[in-house]
Amino acid sequence: MNDVCGKRLPEILTILASKDYLAKMYTALEDDGIASVIKIALDVVRNTEIVPLPDIRRKNSDKAASFIYEARAYLRSRCIDVALEKCNEMLLYAPKNSDHMFSVYYFRAKILCLVKAAIAGLNDIENCLAVMKPQDRDALEDLMKMKKELTSILPFENIKNLALQSSFGTDYFTFNMKRNKDINCAIADIGVVRENGLPKVVATKNIDVGKLVAVERAYVTHRNDMNQLISCYNCLKFNLNLIPCDGCCYALFCDEMCKKLCMDEFHRTECQIMDHIFPERSDARFVLPVRAALKMKQAKSWDELVAASQDLTADKLRNRSDSEIYDSRNTFSILNYNNGKHFVHGKIFNQSFYYAAIVNRLSEIPGYYPQDPKKRLEAMYALGSIMLHLFVTYPFEIEIINAAQNYLTNNVTSEPEPNFGWFSFANKLKHCCEPNLLVVGLNDKIGLVAVKPIKKGTELTICYM
């Protein structure tokens, strides 16, 4: 515990002790738990300089232009993958409807044409035409030449893709099986039993090797930093035609549909505080609690969120239904986790200031919190408590490693790294070094596949490592 919110621990302790916050924090840790800790941390954030101001990233034409020069240099050196990433970095910073939008789509189309990526190249030519302004008309002839060339090789690319494409990703993950009535992502051959009032998932029938037991979309995800410029911020799909978020300089999406889905789930709010979330703590374990809490709020009222934050005790699982615990269609399912953890005071102390700073930053968004002062504070405490609870509760995030790679994308971009996610069902299965289920990834989903015969009554297990 050497660093908190970008400051060294001795410096933090000196600030807290001088303001009489340290004793209050220790008392809250011993007696009252997370809710009281967040209240004190929020007071600290508001009345001290414990949290440094982040570096603010803004859409910037000059910065965007610098990336196109870098992209050209890498292309001359035949570093196709880096040139493409520099184009996408330019997209992140290019202001909406600026001249740079055409420039980056045009240059990216030239790269894709060079490597004979017909489908992706044609998509970017359409992007060029959609944002073209009168001053860009000189490039129209070149675009039409590229379109003609790519159209001529399109049938061959389609044949190659069909030859390479595995039915594993398309058919296996369709999951056309009878499902558990309480856990929609899982087959009917599993169920939940209680031991000392706590739930565990078991096979209710014998399950053969190779059987797909569950397909689950992540409740929230986090991209590996190495994938930021080659994969969709929402669905994690590796894509050659990424498009930017209009507001922040962090998110790229595979298409407008994915962009809208992400905005509707949580990014509409998250977009406005990205600089406070990411500067020093892009690690999944710090970011996922923020994203999950924002997703809950976007789906629920403040009254519902406050009520959920007041029921985070270790005994809550004894009173929850199987659906409330394991089914991600239940917005608060991610909160229902066995959190009987020990030795967590250090983690709570460290992270309380980080989440308090984010909760405080949200107060600068007009209309985000209730107008009534009492309800406003209540809402802030609730949101902070949920973030801190999730951070302390979840011991791991599941690695999502794509089982069915996009061959064309991998020939053009850097080798993708695993992404990360939290899952309402899979995260709550028991860990085992020799599990009976294998986690298989596909974009923002995972499949759980039986890797050994599972007898009726046997607990389902996965490996976290």
Q: How far apart are CA 389 and CA 392, in angstroms?
A: 5
- Is a pLDDT exceeding 60 seen at residue 5? no
β-pairing, 398-400 vs 252-253, is unpaired
Overall average pLDDT of the 311-326 stretch:
84
- Is a pLDDT exceeding 70 seen at residue 187? yes
The number of CA neighbours under 13 Å toward the Cβ of 425 is 30
CATH of 166-337+394-465 given 2.60.120.10, 3.40.1550.20, 2.170.270.10, 3.30.60.50: 2.170.270.10
Please report, rounded to a whole number, the percentage of residues in the chain having pLDDT higher than 90.
Answer: 61
The alpha-helical segments, DSSP class H, found in 394-445 are: 407-412
Confidence of residue 6 (pLDDT cuts 50, 70, 90): low
- Is a pLDDT exceeding 50 seen at residue 336? yes
Query: For 194-235, what is each residue's pLDDT tens digit?
Result: 988 889 999 999 999 999 999 999 999 999 988 999 999 999
pLDDT of residue 148: 95
- Is a pLDDT exceeding 80 seen at residue 382? yes
Is the C-alpha dihedral spanning 33, 34, 39, 44 positive or negative?
A: positive
| 36-40, 345-349, 360-364: segment of lowest average pLDDT | 345-349
- Is a pLDDT exceeding 90 seen at residue 73? yes
Q: Which residues contact 116 (CB under 8 A, 6 or more apart)?
A: 150, 153, 157
Q: How far apart are CA 189 and CA 185, in angstroms?
A: 12
Q: How far apart are CA 41 and CA 50, in angstroms?
A: 10
- Is a pLDDT exceeding 50 seen at residue 408? no
CATH architecture classification, 61-93+97-164: Alpha Horseshoe (1.25)
Residue type, 204: T
When computed from its CA atoms, the radius of gyration of the chain, rounded to whole angstroms, is 24
- Is a pLDDT exceeding 90 seen at residue 247? yes
Query: For 249-260, what is each residue's pLDDT tens digit?
Result: 999 999 999 999
- Is a pLDDT exceeding 70 seen at residue 304? yes
pLDDT of residue 8: 60
The residues with which 430 forms a beta bridge, in sequence order, are 461
Q: Could you say which DSSP state residue 254 is in?
A: S
Q: According to CATH, where is 1.25.40.10 located in the chain?
A: 61-93+97-164
Overall average pLDDT of the 427-456 stretch:
93
Confidence of residue 410 (pLDDT cuts 50, 70, 90): very low
The model's pTM: 0.90
In this structure, the dihedral spanned by the alpha carbons of residues 11, 12, 15 and 16, taken in order and rounded to 10 degrees, is -150
Helices (H) then strands (E): counts for the chain = 18, 14
User: What's the Cα-to-Cα distance from 217 to each of 231, 312, 443, rounded to whole Å?
Assistant: 17, 24, 9
The alpha-helical segments, DSSP class H, found in 94-166 are: 99-114, 118-131, 140-164
Is the C-alpha dihedral spanning 30, 35, 38, 39 positive or negative?
A: negative
Overall average pLDDT of the 232-246 stretch:
94
pLDDT of residue 70: 93
8 Å CB contact between 209 and 453: yes
Q: How many CB atoms lie within 10 A of CB 357?
A: 24
Q: How far apart are CA 312 and CA 310, in angstroms?
A: 6
Residue type, 454: I
Q: Could you say which DSSP state residue 187 is in?
A: B
Q: Mean pLDDT over all residues of the chain?
A: 88
- Is a pLDDT exceeding 80 seen at residue 315? no
Overall average pLDDT of the 30-50 stretch:
84
Q: Could you say which DSSP state residue 318 is in?
A: G
Q: How many CB atoms lie within 10 A of CB 168?
A: 13
Q: Which residues contact 23 (CB under 8 A, 6 or more apart)?
A: none
Q: Of 392, 402, 379, give the one whose Cα is nearest residue 345.
A: 392
Residue type, 83: A
Confidence of residue 407 (pLDDT cuts 50, 70, 90): very low
Confidence of residue 401 (pLDDT cuts 50, 70, 90): confident
| 268-282, 317-331, 436-450: segment of lowest average pLDDT | 268-282
pLDDT of residue 171: 60
Q: Which residues contact 105 (CB under 8 A, 6 or more apart)?
A: 124, 127, 128, 131
pLDDT of residue 7: 54
The residues with which 193 forms a beta bridge, in sequence order, are 200
- Is a pLDDT exceeding 80 seen at residue 167? no
Q: According to CATH, where is 2.170.270.10 located in the chain?
A: 166-337+394-465
8 Å CB contact between 178 and 317: no
Overall average pLDDT of the 378-403 stretch:
91
pLDDT of residue 23: 83
Query: For 109-146, what is each residue's pLDDT tens digit?
Result: 999 999 999 999 999 999 999 999 888 888 999 999 99
Overall average pLDDT of the 271-286 stretch:
80
Q: Could you say which DSSP state residue 32 is in?
A: I
Overall average pLDDT of the 189-198 stretch:
91
Overall average pLDDT of the 260-265 stretch:
96
